[in-house]
Amino acid sequence: GITRPLVEAARKQGVDLHTSAAMEDFIRDENGRVIGLVVREKFNFLQKDSGLVLNYGARKGIVIASGGFSQNVQFRKAIDPSLDEKLESTNHPGATGECLMAMLALGAMPIQLDQIQLGPWSSPDERGFGLVSQFNTIAGFPKGIMVDCRTGRRFVDELADRKARSDAILNQIDENGKPVYPICFVDSEGVKLAQTLKNGLKYGVIRKFDTLEELAKAYGIPADNLIKQVNEFNEYVRNGKDEQFNRPLALAVEITKAPFYAARVWPKVHYCMGGVAINNRAQVLNVRDLKPIPGLYAAGEVTGGTHGASRLGGCAIADGLVTGRTAGAQVAAEPSQNLS
């Protein structure tokens, strides 16, 4: 809904888009100015040395807008050892950070690389962002509840910030340190706006139950505890106050109308708040003197410091637009360089 219209608009403006291309390195002149890129065209991302190596010159400058590195397990583990192979990512397979690392090698100032956000709405039953994420975001968390399947009780505010929810879910482990996946569920009234419900049911990552007792049995939840928890929550909704976790209840509905829809939950690595330092002209700053690296600009998730410790949902688009427009305007105003 966002990327495809932007691609089409760019093509109409005459932008030359190169897919299946991987950046290898920067090219600099004798004064240290960035004047080009080494790129592998027709690159197969499953074959490291595939493709055709070409050099591209940049007469005005280069804008790096390559996103985060959540799919680079080795790199993210070096920054935060807790983000190991046990955690998947919601991102596309190419979010591996080569451009970020090339800028760091060039001398770019790193900012808050260890601030990496997990998506608390994901499911262990599917790869990538998946179908459950939208189900939980639109229905499960705002209109349903999430419970520990061992107790049938809630354990966190379902609308807390992403870090608070992710940390609480990751604490759901057994005596051997293995995940005990929480269950998020909602009734037929609360699920009405969940666009991925149909496909989630089709692929079995969301399940449908006629009664709460059936739901409890399917996930090994103590039925009496679960029903008691639901009744307590419904009372909170009627009274307008969550006595357990002080969750805002403006969007909540009583969980009463069968059928009920449920999914298992486990966080995935989602967004890298850290990146390289830029100034208000989107110029990348050198770590030694905090002066701009000539010819190098950056925008979006590859930059650091904008979002602090936990990005607010939706702000990444605004970040990309603001820093992208800034970088584009600045690099267009640069005097053309003689690359001969």
Tell me the catalytic residues: 162
DSSP 8-state secondary structure symbol assigned to residue 302: G
Beta bridge partners of 161: none
Q: Are 304 and 275 in contact (CB under 8 A)?
A: yes
CA 53 vs CA 34, 42, 99, 179, 254: distances in Å? 18, 9, 16, 44, 60
C-alpha to C-alpha distance for 205 and 282, rounded to whole angstroms:
42
Closest residue by Cα to residue 122 from 71, 184, 73: 184
- Name the one residue in this structure whose structure tokens are 């991302």: 45
Tokens standing for residue 334: 């640069």
Residue with tokens 């650091």: 304
Distance, CA of 88 to CA of 126 (rounded, Å): 10
